[in-house]
């Protein structure tokens, strides 16, 4: 069993598991933090951005000033943003049989894998994962494609040049592997390879392995996966949550008895309590609006936004915000809000009960009905007519590099009345803000990450007791900025095996058994023998059929009747064709009884001699000698086949066959 | 030999009161718990005393499965669980769980409030009953207990309708509930994988019907409605609140839109809007097209169809009214029917099946004078039309499902005996499987022949698959092993491992045969001749000549020694163990024939 680690990002994993005869890719995460090195893509021509000075090397060379721009001491690439792909060279990705997706954030690299590596397998994911994943991809493609960029910078990627650049560009890894965003046709092609699955559905892979998605409690349709054969069980835990938000609770019980548990996607902000953050979010929002400022919430179009809207639904009236407009701007805003209401089966119990009434599970339906929440595909069109300030705007992308959010940053950045509130934990907010500096607007950091923290992990591991834990190396040491916090790492026995990008782990598990089916007629023919109290045995000689990795034992065919023809046979025709197997023997032969038996069968001249280890039985007339010892019998005779066979069968009567 | 037993308590050679008991590998499962629309007495519910006379149902049943929300499949559930008493799990899909209590409450109201019956289940009982329900997803494997598992498949009959696979070890039963093999305007088609159950229990409502294309029926329906409305008549379409109603609404809505018609369309009872709401929230259970477009246009938001008020029935002029219930056996549809029946301009369209005893069934079988309550005779002058819109599989569909699932046996329920007989013959002819059609209370026993799963040690399996230079990996191989049976665990291991595990020593049985041959040469020369002789014949075996002059064939040892008395005779000692019995025996007989004349 081997694990190929293709991504270094602990919350956006991409691993390949080789298990029995199958090759299974676990998640397909796309590391988008690379985009932080690029300049934002403004929807409307931004004089500020276009006037940024080109970057000049210390020696005064200016050959990079078209590609790199400087803003408040940081250097950015002036080009279409690019993403850091999972490793594609570590193994031949065309050999991947299936891809298992755990949640919609972890499938963003899918088109790169399915469309460019010769992949011919199947992708498995739940319906909400696919639908919302499609929305995220659509939004991404849309926000990049609608701002065409004339130039594409590549000179800076040259290794010799990159060496000269300031951090973090200098240290960026695998820049040659960075790729531009995919297109909608590629997204559609990738998504068409997905097969929908439900929680606790058992999916057979080539008869060798069974995979099952389990609820992971983190997002709509998010799942952990069990990958098992009859004897081995690997649990893949990725992006799980024990908090009660909108998704169905996490299924922990089914993770028990795992031989290996692969643990990824823990909280990125282990020190922040999500509930506290939501409170802070609400109070900062209310304060800004009351002071006549606007609030900008950079966010993804699905996920935490549902919970934030639900909080606001309960909060706005009591906070006196009933007249403040809430805008949700995204090319997929409408779809996201609509889709959230139709996945009742994937929601927590309370929300399910609402659907039984029947009422929409999320209260944002009411916010829309009462015109408190309005959604638009973009800032162009209807929005510009309806736009009223002060207001609250939810829009993407959380990296602040593309999407409608860029416009609002430029629009509101200059006034200290306004506030930008960061809730998504995927990007460092300081890095996200860097190309907008200097900034007068207030910045509040309320990261809401509901994924497991280390206390919950240690409780979980105690509960489900896996034999081995495998996790990204980041989880086996305290965070680099808080090296004294030894509580912020995984603590288990035996210590977790850690992996890093481009590493191959051999997982410690040795298979010893396999399942085989005995056909009923063969079972009927078996003769069990009780060898010890409670233990019986039967010797089985059977034909083994193996098809689709399933093994079946059948009655051996009856030996074919010898042909009736009287042709003279050649000697070699009689050569036994295959080595027909004889059982092993066990037991010992009591000499007295043996002699009695011989006599009963007509041997009258039996003589017994004692030896050091046993006895010798002599049949004088036949010049035959039988050595009896505790664990062996030796029949020495002339070439008298009938006699030998007779003696053989008499001896066998005393022995057990295995 | 293991067996599966099936006893219908309802729906055996009948439609209505679906309730089928299945015993499989020691587990007892009840499939559906319906009421009969044709009866108002004790016969309306299944006879649960069949399950147990004394003792609690919970002890006898491992679980109850409800296939969909129609009352003939779930109508007796509160009576069963709350009044007879059952506390075990009840499984159904999410939409069924959502809609079923509403129909039950509706049913209770009609029975208790309108007909004034007592000793019926109460609203509270419906609530308590629903608390015992566990909702299942499609394709989810639900582990009822350690051995018993169930799995739901899409059935396409109504929103949330499911077929269920019930599985214990290698044995399995599939129960279809009601299903539809052709997608309609709002639902998709039933689907099942090739799960090869020991038994398929299928409905057979339309056992002898092969329906023309859906499009023709739709055109026919629209034409009739249109004509009646044009001549100023009123059209009554008795329906059940959920199911066909939505399909026909979508049909009429698009037709009205296209033809720009003005005659009002009404939908009776307060259920309508609620019902459409369920369709909106459970849109993932509808067909592909509706699911794809729902963000832009939700098919269940109707422009032309408005809520019905009782007073509208007396309005002059044409109108179309959808009214519940669908078989004209009670409620609003029956009231409107009585009002409109006397006018030949009007029309009633029965879009689905009607069970015996209902007014719907009577008028469909041609009766035009009906005796109503209070001995009143109602003369039916309005036109009566029947259009099969109910979403049941027809004969073709049933055969198609059997082909999909490949069952070893088929059992028919939910149909009329005569029609079943016909279908049974057809199934037996075409698929060469046994087909059964038990009546209510009659038990069918099916013998199964499950294979036995055992654990084989990987070492043994690999050894067996590695043996011999087999170019064809698919060719079956003979293997030998020892099956160890201990506390219900079965393990197949190599004989060596079995001995080792049991702490037993191997007993070696060896034979040494003296073969006399005539050969005056020296012993080592005799040895060489023997070697060449054997080498020539045993091409597939490893034959070796050892430095000490002895010869081995595989593990068989042959030594040539001089005869103590006769110089011209040599004695060949052939020695082998019991494991090489065949080869050893063969060699002795071969050598006994002597050596060929050597060529120099």
Q: pLDDT over 90 for what percent of chain B? A: 50
Contacts 24+ apart (CB under 8 A), B414-419: B414/B11, B414/B14, B414/B15, B414/B18, B414/B178, B414/B203, B414/B204, B414/B205, B415/B13, B415/B14, B415/B15, B415/B203, B415/B204, B415/B205, B415/B206, B415/B207, B416/B13, B416/B14, B416/B15, B416/B207, B417/B13, B419/B204, B419/B207, B419/B208
Shortest Cα distance from B568 to chain A (angstroms)?
Answer: 18
Residue of A nearest to B489 (CA): A535
pLDDT digits (tens, 9 = 90+) for A389-445: 999 999 999 999 999 999 999 999 999 999 999 999 999 999 999 999 999 999 999
Is pLDDT above 80 for B114? no
What pLDDT score was predicted for residue A567? 46
Q: Write phi, then psi, for B203 (nearest 5 degrees).
A: -70, 160
Greater confidence, A419 or B454?
Answer: A419
Residue A636's closest CA among B151, B397, B342, B573?
Answer: B573
Kindly state whether B579 is in contact with chain A, defined as any CB-CB distance less than 8 angstroms: yes
Sheet holding A392-395, edge to edge: A373-376, A326-329, A392-395, A295-298, A419-422, A442-445
Nearest of B80, B51, B82 to residue B66 by alpha carbon = B80
**Predicted local confidence at residue B208, as pLDDT:** 85
Q: Which candidate, B406, B93, B41, B486, places its Cα nearest to that of B278?
A: B93
Q: How confident is the model at residue B465 (pLDDT cuts 50, 70, 90)?
A: low
Answer yes or no: are the C-beta atoms of B112 and B67 closer than 8 Å.
Answer: no
Residue A365 has pLDDT above 80, yes or no: yes
| Cβ(B582)–Cβ(A576) below 8 Å | yes
Please compute the mean of the pLDDT values over residues B547-566 and round it to a whole number: 86
**Angle made by CA atoms A206, A210, A216, in degrees to the nearest 5:** 140
- Mean pLDDT of all residues in A523-539: 86
Question: Residue B48: its pLDDT value, please?
Answer: 93
Question: What is d(CA B401, CA B406) in angstroms, rounded to the nearest whole number?
Answer: 8
Measured between CA atoms, how close is A640 to chain B, in angstroms?
A: 8
Tell me what pLDDT residue B53 has: 82
Closest partner CB to A198 (pick from B138, B450, B477): B138
Are A201 and B139 a contacting pair at CB < 8 A? yes
Listing DSSP states for B35-85 in one string gives --TT-SSGGGS--GGGT-SSS-HHHH-SEEE---S-HHHHTTHHIIIIIII
Classify residue A581 by its DSSP letter.
Answer: P
Cβ count near B348 (within 10 Å): 25
- Rounded to an integer, the average pLDDT of A155-160 is 89
Residues of B in contact with A641 (CB under 8 A): 585, 588-589
Distance from CA of A513 to the nearest CA of B (A): 4
Best residue in B483, B533, B575, B591 to probe A by mutation, most A CBs within 10 Å? Answer: B483
pLDDT, mean of residues B206-216: 78
Q: Note the pLDDT of residue B471.
A: 44
As a whole number, the mean pLDDT across chain B is 89
Which pLDDT value is given to residue A508?
A: 82
Model ipTM over 0.90 = no
Nearest Cα to A343, choosing from A331, A357, A329, A355?
A: A355
Alpha helices by DSSP H, listed for B414-564, are 417-431, 458-466, 495-502, 523-537
Would you tell me which residues 107-136 of chain B have a C-beta closer than 8 angstroms to some C-beta of chain A?
Answer: 135
Query: What does the pLDDT average to over B11-29?
Result: 95
What pLDDT is stored for residue B487 in this prediction? 80
Contacts of A526 (CB under 8 A, 6+ apart): A538, A540, B483
Residues of B in contact with A519 (CB under 8 A): 451
Show which of residues 195-234 on chain B sit within 8 Å of chain A, judged by CB atoms.
none
A634 to chain B: which residues are within 8 Å by CB?
Answer: 509-512
Rounded CA gap, A551 and A538, in Å? Answer: 19
Nearest-5° Cα angle at A406, A405 to A412 = 85
Q: Which of B203, B218, B247, B385 is catalytic?
A: B203
Q: Residues A244-267, buried b or exposed e (16+ Cβ, 10 A)?
A: ebbbbebbbebbeebbbbbbbbbb
* Per-residue model confidence as pLDDT tens digits over A104-123: 999 999 999 999 999 999 99
CA of A130 vs chain B CAs: smallest distance (Å)? 13
**CA distances from residue B352 to A236, A344, B206 in whole angstroms, order as listed:** 49, 30, 11
Instruction: Determine the Cα–Cα distance for residues B551 and B527; give it in Å rounded to an integer.
Output: 7
Euclidean distance between the first and final Cα of chain A, in Å?
33
Q: Give the span between the Cα atoms of B37 and B47, in whole angstroms.
A: 15
Tell me what percent of the residues of chain A surpass a pLDDT of 70: 96
Mean pLDDT in residue range A353-380: 94
Report, as an integer, the average pLDDT of B566-575.
86
- Chain A residues within 8 A of B483 when measuring between CB atoms: 526, 528, 537-540
Q: Beta strands B27-31 and B63-65: pairing type?
A: parallel
Give the mean model confidence (pLDDT) for residues A236-246.
94
> Residue A562's pLDDT is what?
53
Beta carbons of A544 and B479 less than 8 Å apart:
yes
Dihedral over alpha carbons B245, B247, B248, B252 (to 10 degrees): 130
Asked if the C-beta of B280 comes within 8 angstroms of chain A's C-beta atoms, the answer is yes
Q: How many CB pairs under 8 A join A and B?
A: 266
Whether residue B137 lies within 8 A of chain A, CB to CB, comes out as yes
Q: How confident is the model at residue A327 (pLDDT cuts 50, 70, 90)?
A: very high
Asked about B218 being catalytic, the answer comes back as no
Residue A566, pLDDT score:
46
Closest CA to B410 of B446, B358, B452: B446
Cα–Cα nearest to B265, from B312, B202, B328, B326:
B312
Residue A580: band (very low, low, confident or very high) from pLDDT cuts 50, 70, 90: low
Residue A639 and residue B516: Cβ atoms within 8 Å?
A: yes
Nearest by CB to residue A641, choosing from B479, B583, B585, is: B585
CA distances from B152 to A355, B21, B24, B176, B387 (A): 21, 18, 18, 10, 30
Q: Which residues contact B11 (CB under 8 A, 6 or more apart)?
A: B17, B18, B19, B20, B32, B34, B72, B203, B413, B414, B440
**CB contact, 8 Å: B468 with chain A?**
yes
Question: How far is it, in rounded angstroms, from Cα B434 to Cα B446?
Answer: 9
Given an 8 Å threshold on Cβ–Cβ distance, is B505 in contact with A586?
Answer: yes
Minimum Cα–Cα distance from B100: chain A residue = A356
- What does the pLDDT look like over A281-292, one tens digit per residue? 999 999 999 999
User: How far apart (Å, rounded) are the C-alpha atoms in residues B526 and A542?
Assistant: 41
Tell me the per-residue pLDDT of B472-524, one tens digit each, with 9 for 90 and over: 555 667 788 889 888 878 899 888 888 888 888 889 999 999 888 888 888 88
User: Best-predicted range by mean pLDDT among A176-190, A619-633, B308-322?
Assistant: A176-190
How many Å apart are CA B303 and CA B570, to the nearest integer? 110
A545-570 pLDDT per residue, tens: 888 888 888 888 766 555 555 444 44
**Segment 476-515 of chain B within 8 Å of chain A by CB:** 476-487, 491-492, 495-496, 498-499, 502, 504-515
Q: Per-residue DSSP letters for B478-517?
A: EEEEEEEEETTEEEEE-HHHHHHHHT-PBPEEEEEEEEEE
pLDDT given for residue A561 in this prediction: 55
Q: Do B538 and A575 touch (CB under 8 A)?
A: yes
Instruction: Provide mean pLDDT across the span B328-341.
Output: 89
- pLDDT 10s digits, B144-178: 999 999 999 999 999 999 999 999 988 999 999 99
């Amino acid at each position: 069993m081997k694990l190929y680690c293709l991504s270094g990002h602990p919350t956006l994993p991409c691993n390949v598991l080789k298990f029995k005869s199958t090759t299974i890719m676990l998640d397909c995460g796309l590391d988008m933090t690379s985009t932080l090195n690029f300049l934002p893509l403004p929807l409307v021509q931004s004089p500020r951005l276009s006037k940024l000075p080109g970057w000049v090397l210390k020696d005064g060379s200016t050959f990079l000033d078209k590609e790199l721009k400087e803003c408040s001491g940081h250097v950015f690439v002036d080009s279409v943003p690019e993403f850091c792909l999972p490793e594609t060279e570590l193994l031949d990705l065309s050999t991947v049989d299936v891809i298992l997706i755990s949640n919609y954030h972890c499938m963003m690299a899918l088109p790169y894998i399915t469309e460019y590596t010769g992949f011919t397998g199947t992708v498995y994911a739940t319906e909400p994962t696919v639908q919302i994943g499609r929305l995220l991809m659509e939004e991404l493609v849309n926000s990049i494609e609608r701002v065409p960029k004339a130039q594409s910078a590549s000179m800076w990627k040259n290794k010799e040049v990159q060496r000269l650049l300031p951090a973090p560009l200098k240290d960026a890894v695998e820049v040659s592997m960075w790729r531009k965003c995919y297109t909608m046709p590629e997204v559609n092609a990738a998504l068409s390879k997905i097969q929908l699955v439900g929680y606790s559905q058992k999916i057979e892979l080539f008869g060798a392995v069974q995979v099952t998605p389990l609820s992971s409690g983190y997002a709509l349709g998010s799942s952990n996966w069990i990958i098992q054969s009859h004897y081995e069980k690997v649990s893949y835990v990725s992006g799980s949550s024990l908090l009660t938000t909108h998704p169905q609770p996490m299924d922990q019980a089914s993770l028990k008895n795992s031989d290996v548990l692969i643990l990824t996607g823990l909280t990125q902000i282990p020190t922040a309590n999500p509930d506290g953050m939501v409170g802070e979010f609400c109070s900062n929002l209310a304060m800004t609006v009351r002071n006549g400022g606007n609030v900008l919430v950079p966010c993804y179009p699905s996920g935490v936004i549902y919970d934030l809207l639900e909080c606001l639904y309960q909060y706005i009236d009591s906070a006196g915000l009933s007249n403040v407009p809430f805008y949700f701007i995204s090319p997929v805003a409408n779809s996201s809000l609509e889709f959230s209401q139709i996945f009742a089966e994937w929601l927590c119990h309370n929300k399910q009960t609402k659907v039984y009434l029947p009422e929409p599970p999320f209260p944002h339906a009411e916010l829309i009905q009462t015109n408190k929440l309005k959604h638009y595909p973009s800032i162009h069109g209807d929005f510009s007519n309806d736009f009223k300030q002060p207001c609250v705007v939810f829009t993407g992308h959380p990296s602040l590099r593309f999407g409608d959010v860029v416009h609002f940053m430029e629009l509101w950045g200059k006034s200290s009345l306004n506030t930008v509130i960061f809730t998504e934990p995927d990007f460092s907010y300081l890095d996200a803000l860097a190309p907008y500096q200097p900034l007068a607007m207030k910045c509040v950091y309320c990261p809401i990450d509901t994924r497991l923290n280390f206390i919950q992990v240690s409780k979980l591991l105690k509960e489900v007791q896996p034999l081995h834990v495998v996790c990204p190396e980041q989880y086996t040491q305290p965070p680099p900025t808080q090296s004294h916090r030894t509580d912020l790492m995984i603590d288990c026995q035996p210590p977790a095996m850690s992996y890093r990008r481009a590493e191959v782990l051999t997982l410690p598990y040795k298979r010893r058994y396999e399942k085989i089916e005995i056909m009923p007629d063969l079972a009927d023919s078996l003769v069990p023998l009780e060898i010890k109290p409670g233990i019986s045995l039967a010797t089985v000689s059977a034909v083994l059929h193996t098809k689709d990795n399933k093994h079946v034992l059948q009655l051996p065919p009856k030996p074919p009747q010898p042909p009736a023809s009287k042709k003279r046979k050649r000697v070699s025709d009689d050569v036994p064709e295959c080595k027909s197997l004889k059982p092993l023997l066990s037991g010992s032969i009591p000499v007295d009884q043996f002699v009695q038996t011989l006599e009963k069968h007509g041997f009258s001249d039996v003589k017994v001699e004692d030896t050091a280890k046993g006895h010798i039985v002599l049949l004088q007339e036949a010049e035959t000698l039988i050595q009896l010892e505790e664990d062996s019998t030796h029949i020495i005779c002339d070439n008298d086949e009938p006699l030998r066979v007779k003696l053989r069968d008499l001896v066998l009567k005393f022995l057990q066959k295995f | 030999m293991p067996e599966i037993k099936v006893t219908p308590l309802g729906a055996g050679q009948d439609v209505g009161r679906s309730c089928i008991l299945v015993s499989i590998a020691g587990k007892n499962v009840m499939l559906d718990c319906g009421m009969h629309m044709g009866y108002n007495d004790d016969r309306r519910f299944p006879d649960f005393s069949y399950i147990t006379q004394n003792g609690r149902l919970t002890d006898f049943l491992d679980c109850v499965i409800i296939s969909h929300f129609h009352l003939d499949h779930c109508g007796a559930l509160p009576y069963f669980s709350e009044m007879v008493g059952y506390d075990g799990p009840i499984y159904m899909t999410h939409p069924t769980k959502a809609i079923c209590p509403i129909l039950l409450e509706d049913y209770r109201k009609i029975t208790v409030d309108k007909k004034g019956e007592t000793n019926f289940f109460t609203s509270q009982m419906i609530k308590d009953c629903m608390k015992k329900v566990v909702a299942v997803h499609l394709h989810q494997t639900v582990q009822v207990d350690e051995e018993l598992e169930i799995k739901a498949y899409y059935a396409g009959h109504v929103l949330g309708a499911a077929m269920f696979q019930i599985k214990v070890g290698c044995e399995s039963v599939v129960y279809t509930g009601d299903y539809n093999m052709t997608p309609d305007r709002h639902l998709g088609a039933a689907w099942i994988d090739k799960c090869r159950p020991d038994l398929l229990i299928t409905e057979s409502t339309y056992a002898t019907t092969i329906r023309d294309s859906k499009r023709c029926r739709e055109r026919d329906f629209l034409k009739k409605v249109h004509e009646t409305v044009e001549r100023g008549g009123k059209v009554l379409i008795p329906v059940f609140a959920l199911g066909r109603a939505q399909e026909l609404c979508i049909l009429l809505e698009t037709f009205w839109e296209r033809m720009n018609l003005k005659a009002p369309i009404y939908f009776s009872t307060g259920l309508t809007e609620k019902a459409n709401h369920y369709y909106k929230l459970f849109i993932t259970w509808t067909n592909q097209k509706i699911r794809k477009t729902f963000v832009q246009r939700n098919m269940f938001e109707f422009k032309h169809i408005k809520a019905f008020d009782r007073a509208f029935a007396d309005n002059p002029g044409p109108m179309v009214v959808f009214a519940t219930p669908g078989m004209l056996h009670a409620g609003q549809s029956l009231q409107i029917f009585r009002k409109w029946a006397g006018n030949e301009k009007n029309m009633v369209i029965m879009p689905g099946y009607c069970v015996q005893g209902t007014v719907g069934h009577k008028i469909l079988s041609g009766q035009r004078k009906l005796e109503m309550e209070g001995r009143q005779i109602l003369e039916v002058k309005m036109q009566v039309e029947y259009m099969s819109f109910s979403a049941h599989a027809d004969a073709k569909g049933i055969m198609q499902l059997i082909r999909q699932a490949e069952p070893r046996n088929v059992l028919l329920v939910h149909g009329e005996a005569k029609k079943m007989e016909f279908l049974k013959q057809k199934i037996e002819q075409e698929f060469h499987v046994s087909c059964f059609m038990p009546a209510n209370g009659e038990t069918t026993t099916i013998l199964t022949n499950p294979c036995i799963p055992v654990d084989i040690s990987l070492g043994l399996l690999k050894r067996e698959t590695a043996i011999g230079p087999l170019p064809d990996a698919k060719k079956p191989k003979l293997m030998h092993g020892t099956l160890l049976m201990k506390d219900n665990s079965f393990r197949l291991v190599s004989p060596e491992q079995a001995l080792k595990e049991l702490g037993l020593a191997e007993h070696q049985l060896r034979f040494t045969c003296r073969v006399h041959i005539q050969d005056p040469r020296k012993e080592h020369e005799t040895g060489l001749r023997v070697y060449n002789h054997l080498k020539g014949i045993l091409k597939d075996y490893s034959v070796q000549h050892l430095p000490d002059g002895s010869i081995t064939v595989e593990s068989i040892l042959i030594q040539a020694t001089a005869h103590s008395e006769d110089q011209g005779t040599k004695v060949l000692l052939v020695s082998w163990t019991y494991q090489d019995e065949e080869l050893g025996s063969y060699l002795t007989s071969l050598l006994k024939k002597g050596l060929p004349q050597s060529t120099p």
